[in-house]
């Protein structure tokens, strides 16, 4: 069980088998995380650097905790405040860090493709923790794990993704992953928040939330990404909430056992009603956070196996 | 001295012919197509193609301001090696070429080039789209056209005034059709591909809206107008209609938009980041057809040198543009080999039409024309290594690609400036 690639840059390059193997391993880490002593040594001796060019609290904490529970030496760098301000380019920052010989580099960057660029310049394994509006693979994997644990399977479910799809990397990674799992995908958003070319995605498109939610097994809400918007995409938050906010009435159109997800942080009263978010019978939002740590442990474990195997081959001089 | 080029496949864009023959050159001019005059130096072209040198309209040279990216000297060498005998340079330098003094400076500097250089000047001061430049003085100083290059003025009133004024002097305006509000921040064209890559994108309609405004101004003012790059199928009917209605309008396209499409960006390859961004395959095919039909008049490289640092950035932040002086001819051969365009059609778009539109004597094989010539093998295959390019900047999207078409010799005014 391992990844074929050295890096985890996106869901796009993962096979369905690889995705399932991450989920299987993550299940085991969920068990570990629920014990009193949450320690493993699979990353012992390895150095993990979290490099966040964009502010993040939850994702960075999740990666930090995942690394520490696996015994890695973890360092956090908030690059948003440091060298970039002094005019250093992304590649120079990466080369500098690379010279410190890290083993795992966790990177978040506001530009799409920036993590791919960085990965091409360093010797260690790179994990994409979100690049622009491109991909956020560990989020899609943790969502998949949450769905599988709640629904018993991930294949061929009807999943509705609602909200700010245009600006969301979470939506893109989820679309790709759930597409690989042959799910029936629905996108629900006002047309201003649909990405261009969405007709080619192979999803059902709705601008009426009630129609879109009809018969859904999973309702995935997205945060309204106000910081990525350049101008008015919606007339007002209250009109948005009225038409696209998830409340009990709209949720009643989904299947009675449909689960409600949100990648966080939530804007209560904008895209989701507070009571729905807190309803332990419907909302799996807290589980998503828990699965996040386990999935990130699994991903880093798998990447470290590749790294060790590669170094082992190099040490004995095997021609590849 | 008299040079007689014999056994050549003459590509004559004026006559629209592609046939074996010979050509005599004396005192820098083409003097005939007959038998070798007495005492002439005879060169057997071995059945290779002999065509008018390319007139590449819209080349960025880094003088003044960015000589580390390209100088007149390096651009001239690249041009000669690519069969380009006249470079029509852009004024988007630093500072812009918006006064007769800066134009005189670059004209002097251009003497370092082995090929001819003609200059366009800015239409407005600082290319800001607010106040017109001294169009009269600049014409006197040798400007062949006026353009703010990729900066699109939102001050339509100021632009209308500049066009009216230019009309009185018969000055040619080169516009960049684009609705700047729609295209702000875009690095790609709206599509499934751009959205999955998470790149900010623009609708192809932004080009049509910009074009419609410009054509409206042309109708209003009677100015002579050339659209620098038309790259989408949706703009073509507007160009055809303007021509039919008798407006003094022509249009160009870059060789990159004729040979590449949006998918070539692949995994965020910044050498494929262009202005305007690469389009869909449908648009590319429509543009090639428009060249064959003559709706699009001019093919150019839009040579835009960018240093390594400015391209080694995340796609959105990376510089836009590609070098093209040296790859224009082999890239154009792709259209010839695919059977979509004939060689005379190509040379009509790459040398005759731009020369005519700019009032230059070049671009033809007629008697009395300047002996600006390129001899090339249209079939010679090679693998492009960007570090072999003569440009100071190596940002070509064709790096590592298989190409066909090698320049064997280039003459400017009867003087050989390149030997392959």
Q: Would an 8 Å CB–CB cutoff place A95 in contact with chain B? A: no
**B220 and B99 housed in the same domain:** yes
- pLDDT of A88 reads 77
Specify burial of residue B24 (Cβ count, 10 A radius: 0-12, 13-18, 19+).
buried
CATH number, domain containing residue B294: 3.20.20.140
Residue from the list B190, B198, B312 with its beta carbon closest to the beta carbon of A169: B198
- pLDDT of B64 reads 95
**B394 and B275 housed in the same domain:** no
Last residue of a domain, one of B334, B357, B380: B357
Last residue of a domain, one of B304, B328, B357: B357
- pLDDT of A86 reads 66
**B224 and B304 housed in the same domain:** yes
Q: Is residue B77 part of a domain?
A: yes
Per the structure, how many domains does chain B have?
2
Task: Tell me the per-residue pLDDT of B157-210, one tens digit each, with 9 for 90 and over.
Answer: 999 999 999 999 999 999 999 999 999 999 999 999 999 999 999 999 999 999
Q: Is residue B366 part of a domain?
A: no
**B10 and B62 housed in the same domain:** no
Task: Tell me the per-residue pLDDT of A116-132, one tens digit each, with 9 for 90 and over.
Answer: 999 999 999 999 999 99
Q: H helices within A70-180, ranges in order? A: 90-99, 114-119, 137-151, 169-180
**B17 and B67 housed in the same domain:** no
Query: Which of A131, A166, A172, A197 has the most B C-beta neighbours within 10 Å, making it the best mutation to test the interface with B?
Result: A197
Residue from the list A112, A114, A197 with its beta carbon closest to the beta carbon of B190: A197
> In which residue ranges of chain A is pLDDT below 50?
320
Does B190 contact A109 at a Cβ distance shorter than 8 Å? no
- pLDDT of A97 reads 87
Residues listed for chain A = 320
| Contact call for residues A38 and A66 (beta carbons, < 8 A) | no
Task: Tell me the per-residue pLDDT of B77-119, one tens digit each, with 9 for 90 and over.
Answer: 999 999 999 999 999 999 999 999 999 999 999 999 999 999 9
Three-state DSSP class for residue A319: coil
Q: Would an 8 Å CB–CB cutoff place A116 in contact with chain B? A: yes
Q: Would an 8 Å CB–CB cutoff place A256 in contact with chain B? A: no
- pLDDT of A310 reads 86
- pLDDT of A313 reads 84
Q: Is residue B365 part of a domain?
A: no
ipTM of this model? 0.91
- pLDDT of B251 reads 98
Mean pLDDT of B299-310: 96
**B125 and B249 housed in the same domain:** yes
**B216 and B331 housed in the same domain:** yes
Smallest Cα–Cα separation from B123: which of B183, B164, B86?
B164
**B113 and B141 housed in the same domain:** yes
Does B195 contact A196 at a Cβ distance shorter than 8 Å? yes
Q: Is residue B362 part of a domain?
A: no
- Estimate to the nearest angstrom the gap between the alpha carbon of B135 and the chain centroid: 22
**B200 and B225 housed in the same domain:** yes
Phi, psi of A154 (to 5 degrees): -120, -25
Task: Tell me the per-residue pLDDT of A59-111, one tens digit each, with 9 for 90 and over.
Answer: 999 999 999 999 999 999 877 665 566 667 888 888 888 999 999 999 999 99
Specify burial of residue B415 (Cβ count, 10 A radius: 0-12, 13-18, 19+).
middle
Give the single-character DSSP code of B279: -
| Contact call for residues B389 and B395 (beta carbons, < 8 A) | no
Residue from the list A91, A131, A195 with its beta carbon closest to the beta carbon of B195: A195
- pLDDT of A145 reads 98
Last residue of a domain, one of B328, B357, B386: B357
Q: Is residue B364 part of a domain?
A: no
Q: With contacts defined as CB-CB under 8 Å, which chain A residues touch B182? A: none
Mean pLDDT of B12-23: 97
The minimum CA-CA distance between A118 and chain B, rounded to whole Å, is: 9
Q: Is residue B315 part of a domain?
A: yes
- pLDDT of A96 reads 87
Q: Would an 8 Å CB–CB cutoff place A7 in contact with chain B? A: no
Query: Which of A10, A113, A166, A189 has the most B C-beta neighbours within 10 Å, making it the best mutation to test the interface with B?
Result: A113
Q: Is residue B129 part of a domain?
A: yes
Task: Tell me the per-residue pLDDT of B118-170, one tens digit each, with 9 for 90 and over.
Answer: 999 999 999 999 999 999 999 999 999 999 999 999 999 999 999 999 999 99
Q: Is residue B367 part of a domain?
A: no
Mean pLDDT of B279-302: 98
**B14 and B88 housed in the same domain:** no
d(CA A317, CA B74): 46
The parent domain of residue B283 ranges over 53-357
Closest residue of chain A to B317, computed from CA coordinates: A111
- pLDDT of A19 reads 97
CATH number, domain containing residue B377: 2.30.40.10
**B397 and B301 housed in the same domain:** no
Three-state DSSP class for residue A77: strand
**B195 and B272 housed in the same domain:** yes
Q: In this structure, how many other beta carbons lie within 10 angstroms of the beta carbon of residue B51?
A: 27
């Amino acid at each position: 069980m391992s990844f074929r690639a050295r890096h985890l840059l996106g869901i796009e390059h993962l096979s369905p088998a690889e995705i399932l193997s991450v989920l299987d391993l993550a299940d085991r880490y969920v068990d570990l995380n629920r014990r009193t002593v949450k320690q493993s040594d699979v990353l012992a001796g390895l150095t993990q650097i979290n490099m966040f060019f964009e502010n993040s609290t939850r994702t960075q904490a999740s990666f930090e905790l995942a690394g520490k529970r696996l015994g890695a030496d973890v360092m956090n760098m908030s690059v948003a405040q440091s060298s970039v301000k002094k005019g250093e380019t992304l590649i120079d920052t990466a080369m500098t860090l690379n010279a410190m010989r890290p083993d795992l580099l966790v990177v978040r960057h506001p530009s799409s493709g920036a993590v791919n660029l960085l990965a091409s310049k360093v010797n260690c394994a790179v994990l994409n923790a979100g690049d622009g509006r491109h991909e956020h693979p560990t989020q899609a994997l943790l969502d998949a794990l949450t769905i599988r644990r709640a629904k018993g399977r991930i294949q061929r479910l009807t999943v509705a993704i609602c909200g700010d799809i245009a600006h969301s990397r979470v939506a893109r990674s989820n679309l790709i992953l759930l597409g690989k799992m042959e799910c029936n995908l629905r996108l629900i958003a006002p047309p201003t928040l649909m990405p261009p070319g969405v007709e080619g995605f192979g999803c059902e498109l709705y601008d009426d939330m009630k129609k879109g939610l009809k018969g859904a097994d999973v309702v995935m809400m997205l945060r309204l990404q106000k910081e990525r918007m350049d101008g008015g995409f919606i007339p007002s938050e209250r009109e948005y909430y009225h038409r696209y906010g998830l409340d009990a009435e709209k949720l009643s159109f989904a299947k009675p056992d449909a689960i409600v997800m949100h990648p966080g942080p939530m804007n209560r009263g904008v895209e989701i009603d507070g009571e729905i978010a807190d309803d332990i019978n419907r909302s799996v939002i807290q589980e998503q956070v828990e699965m996040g740590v386990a999935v990130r442990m699994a991903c880093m474990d798998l990447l470290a196996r590749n790294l060790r195997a590669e170094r082992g081959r190099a040490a004995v001089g095997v021609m590849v | 001295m008299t040079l007689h080029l014999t056994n050549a496949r003459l590509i004559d864009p004026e006559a629209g012919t592609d046939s074996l023959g010979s050509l005599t050159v004396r005192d820098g001019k083409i003097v005939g197509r007959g038998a070798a005059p007495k005492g002439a130096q005879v060169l057997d072209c071995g059945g290779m193609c002999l065509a008018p040198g390319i007139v590449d309209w819209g080349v960025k040279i880094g003088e003044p301001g960015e000589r580390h990216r390209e100088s007149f000297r390096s651009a001239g060498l690249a041009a000669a090696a690519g069969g380009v005998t006249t470079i029509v340079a852009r004024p988007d330098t630093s500072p812009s070429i918006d006064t007769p003094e800066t134009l005189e400076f670059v004209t002097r500097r251009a003497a370092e080039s082995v090929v001819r250089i003609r200059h366009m000047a800015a239409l407005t001061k600082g290319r800001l789209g607010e106040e017109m430049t001294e169009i009269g003085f600049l014409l006197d100083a040798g400007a062949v056209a006026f353009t703010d290059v990729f900066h699109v003025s939102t001050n339509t009133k100021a632009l209308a005034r500049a066009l009216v004024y230019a009309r009185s002097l018969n000055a040619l305006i080169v516009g960049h059709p684009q609705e700047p509000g729609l295209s702000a921040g875009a690095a790609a064209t709206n599509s499934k591909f751009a959205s999955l890559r998470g790149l900010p994108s623009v609708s192809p309609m932004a080009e049509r809206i910009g074009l419609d405004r410009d054509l409206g101004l042309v109708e209003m003012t009677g100015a002579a107008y050339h659209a620098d790059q038309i790259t989408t199928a949706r703009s073509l009917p507007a160009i055809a209609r303007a021509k039919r209605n008798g407006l003094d309008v022509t249009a160009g396209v870059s060789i990159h938009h004729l040979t590449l499409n949006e998918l070539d960006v692949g995994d965020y390859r910044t050498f494929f980041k262009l202005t305007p961004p690469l389009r869909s395959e449908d648009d590319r095919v429509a543009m090639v057809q428009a060249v064959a039909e003559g709706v699009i008049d001019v093919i150019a490289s839009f040579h835009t040198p960018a240093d390594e640092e400015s391209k080694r950035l995340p796609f959105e932040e990376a510089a836009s543009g590609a070098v093209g002086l040296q790859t224009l001819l082999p890239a154009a051969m792709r259209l010839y080999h695919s059977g979509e365009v004939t060689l005379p059609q190509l040379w009509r778009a790459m040398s005759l039409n731009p020369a005519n539109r700019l009032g230059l004597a070049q671009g033809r094989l007629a008697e009395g024309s300047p002996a600006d010539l390129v001899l090339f093998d249209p079939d010679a295959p090679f693998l492009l290594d960007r570090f072999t390019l003569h440009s100071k900047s190596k940002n070509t999207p064709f790096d590592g690609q298989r190409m066909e078409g090698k320049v064997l010799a280039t003459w400017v005014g009867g003087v050989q400036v390149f030997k392959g």
